[in-house]
Structure 1
Amino acid sequence: MRILCIGDTSTQGDGRPCSGLSRAALDGTISITMSGPEGVAETLRRSHYDLAVIQQAAPDSRLVRHIRKSRVPTPLLIIARTLTATTVADVLSAGADDCVPISVEPVELLARLRAIVRRVSGHDSLTLQIGRLSVSPERRVAHIDGKLVPLTRREYELVQLLALRKGQVLNKETLLDSLYGGESEPHGKVIDVMICKIRKKIREFGIDEPFTTLWGIGYRLNEEAFIPLGAKMSSAENAGNRPSRESCIPVTSGINILASSNALDLA
């Protein structure tokens, strides 16, 4: 999970993320990029982030409203030192997805971050279920038909990202940012190689094309490839049993047509 942490000097004098985020970053669960509030809308527009965390002394809706008026859809979570029911309601009404106190326990904060990303991506459970494929962000594993797919850490992160963004085409820059954010990013070819290796592993489960390649654009999870076999057969049978389309043009009997033709000849 790639997070842009928007710091507030009145909250964190040393310019570091709150302890909850720091602990999550230490175990490799998330990568954090620090930023000030200036130009943050453009930063979110130019680079891919799963979520933005705004650290404030007290919830202030002005930055949230600015980001939303700039038509930036990135999910927003507010971490503040002082909270009241009114200020929390104000930032939520302005477009924030959640608001928590700075004293929030790391395990709860991480769960809230994951829940927001899942919800925004259209998933309503802890496990991302796409047909035969299930991805567990909590355990960081992927299964097909209940069997573990032997993925490396980076390969798993790539599969999870494509599963979260199902239906979307992600370019190599976005994939590199998400997988290597905050680190020295390798050449874009590493994504092609990784996709190739994952394809080979998933083909062992009888799935030929788990990803759709749009040349010069990027990659997308091929949801149709993961449709359960029974559902595919049922769909094919239904297609074969469809009644033939009937013409809506009224048909006159042959006898009447002949009679009409003879009448014309006599005329």
Structure 2
Amino acid sequence: MQVLCIGDSSIPGDGRPCAGLSKAAIEGAISITMSGPEGVVETLRRAQYDIAVVQQMSPDVRLLRHIRNSRLPTPVMIIARDITASGVAEVLSVGADDCVPASVDPTELLARLRAIVRRASGHDSLSLHIGRLTVYVDRRQAHIDGKLIPLTRREYDMVELLALRKSQVLSKEAVLDNLYAGQSEPHGKVIDVMICQVRKKMRSLGIDEPFTTLWGIGYRLNEDAFAPLSARMNGIDGIVSQVSRESSIPMAPGINIMAPSDALDIV
């Protein structure tokens, strides 16, 4: 998970993330980039961050309003040292996705961050359902038609990342940053190898092409590959039925009716 942590210059010595974020980063769960409030909109536009965390003395809507007025879809969490019910209500009404005290337990903080990122990606539960693919975030398992895919820890992380961002193309660098979260990163070729290994495992469970490769750009989850078998068969039946109807149209003398080009391909 890529986190942009925005410090508050009014807080002495806040040149580092709060304790909860630091602990999550040490455990390899998230990758943190520190930033000041200046130029934060441009920073969020330039890079792919899963969430922005704003550290403040007390909840303040000014920076949050600036981010939301810039039409940025990045979810935002506020972490403040002094919290009141009215302060929390105000930032939530302006567009914050959550607001927690700086004393929040690291385990709870990480769970909240993951929940926000999940919801922002269109998933409202701990399991991500994409056709025949189900990713159980709490169990760190991925299944095809209910059958467990035997993934390594890094392979699971990659599948979860691509499932969460199913509509996006991710570069190798973005995948590396998310998988290794600030640790010593291997060469980019490791992602190519990992993609091949996961492809092989999914093909053994009936998924022909789980990932789309855009050469020189990156990878994207191929949602069509996970479409339920019944939906695929219905689609094929519909095409054949349409061709059958079109080919049975009575023809008047001297009039030639050309079959559609897609029908010729099927025949």
Structure 2 match to 1:87: 87
Gaps of 5+ in 2: 254-267
Structure 2 match to 1:187: 187
- State percent identity of aligned pairs: 69
> Is the partner of 1:163 in helix, strand or coil?
helix
8 Å contact kept, 2:8–2:14: no
With over 3 angstroms needed to count, the CA separation of the structure-2 counterparts of 1:70 and 1:183, relative to structure 1, is farther
Structure 2 match to 1:263: none
Structure 2 match to 1:151: 151
Deviation at residue 70 of structure 1 after TM alignment: 3.4
8 Å contact kept, 1:81–1:102: yes
Structure 1 match to 2:196: 196
> What is the RMSD of the two structures over their aligned residues, measured on CA atoms?
2.7
With over 3 angstroms needed to count, the CA separation of the structure-2 counterparts of 1:40 and 1:185, relative to structure 1, is farther
Deviation at residue 209 of structure 1 after TM alignment: 0.3
Deviation at residue 182 of structure 1 after TM alignment: 1.9
Structure 1 Cα separation of the partners of residues 153 and 197 of structure 2 = 13
Structure 1 match to 2:108: 108
Q: Which amino acid aligns with 1:195?
A: I
> Is the partner of 1:197 in helix, strand or coil?
helix
Normalised TM-score (structure 1)? 0.83
Gaps of 5+ in 1: 255-267
Deviation at residue 222 of structure 1 after TM alignment: 0.8
Structure 2 match to 1:32: 32
Structure 1 Cα separation of the partners of residues 149 and 216 of structure 2 = 28
Deviation at residue 98 of structure 1 after TM alignment: 1.3
8 Å contact kept, 2:208–2:225: yes
> Is the partner of 1:241 in helix, strand or coil?
helix
> Is the partner of 1:99 in helix, strand or coil?
strand
Asked if 1:50 is matched to 2:50, the reply is yes
Deviation at residue 114 of structure 1 after TM alignment: 1.4
Structure 2 Cα separation of the partners of residues 33 and 91 of structure 1 = 23
For structure 1, which segment, 132-141 or 236-245, has the greater mean C-alpha deviation from structure 2 after superposition? 236-245
Deviation at residue 165 of structure 1 after TM alignment: 0.9
Structure 2 Cα separation of the partners of residues 63 and 211 of structure 1 = 38
Asked if 1:170 is matched to 2:155, the reply is no
Deviation at residue 36 of structure 1 after TM alignment: 2.3
Structure 2 Cα separation of the partners of residues 211 and 12 of structure 1 = 47
With over 3 angstroms needed to count, the CA separation of the structure-2 counterparts of 1:186 and 1:72, relative to structure 1, is farther
> Is the partner of 2:183 in helix, strand or coil?
coil
With over 3 angstroms needed to count, the CA separation of the structure-2 counterparts of 1:12 and 1:227, relative to structure 1, is farther
8 Å contact kept, 1:33–1:182: no
Structure 1 match to 2:245: 244
> Is the partner of 1:29 in helix, strand or coil?
coil
8 Å contact kept, 1:20–1:109: yes
Structure 2 match to 1:260: none
Structure 1 Cα separation of the partners of residues 137 and 29 of structure 2 = 9
Structure 2 match to 1:77: 77
8 Å contact kept, 1:133–1:145: yes
8 Å contact kept, 1:56–1:78: yes
Runs of 4+ in 1 over 6 A off after TM superposition: none
How many residues align structurally? Answer: 252
Deviation at residue 234 of structure 1 after TM alignment: 3.0
For structure 1, which segment, 177-186 or 199-208, has the greater mean C-alpha deviation from structure 2 after superposition? 177-186
Structure 2 Cα separation of the partners of residues 14 and 126 of structure 1 = 33
Structure 1 Cα separation of the partners of residues 97 and 138 of structure 2 = 21
> Is the partner of 2:32 in helix, strand or coil?
strand
Deviation at residue 196 of structure 1 after TM alignment: 1.4
Structure 2 Cα separation of the partners of residues 221 and 5 of structure 1 = 28
Structure 2 match to 1:59: 59
Q: Which amino acid aligns with 1:201?
A: K
Structure 2 Cα separation of the partners of residues 233 and 124 of structure 1 = 29
Structure 1 Cα separation of the partners of residues 160 and 40 of structure 2 = 26
Structure 2 Cα separation of the partners of residues 3 and 167 of structure 1 = 20
Structure 2 Cα separation of the partners of residues 57 and 210 of structure 1 = 46
Structure 2 match to 1:15: 15
Q: Which amino acid aligns with 1:40?
A: V
Measured against aligned partners, the alpha-carbon deviations of 1:101-126 in whole angstroms (never above 9, x if no partner) come to: 22323333222211111111011211
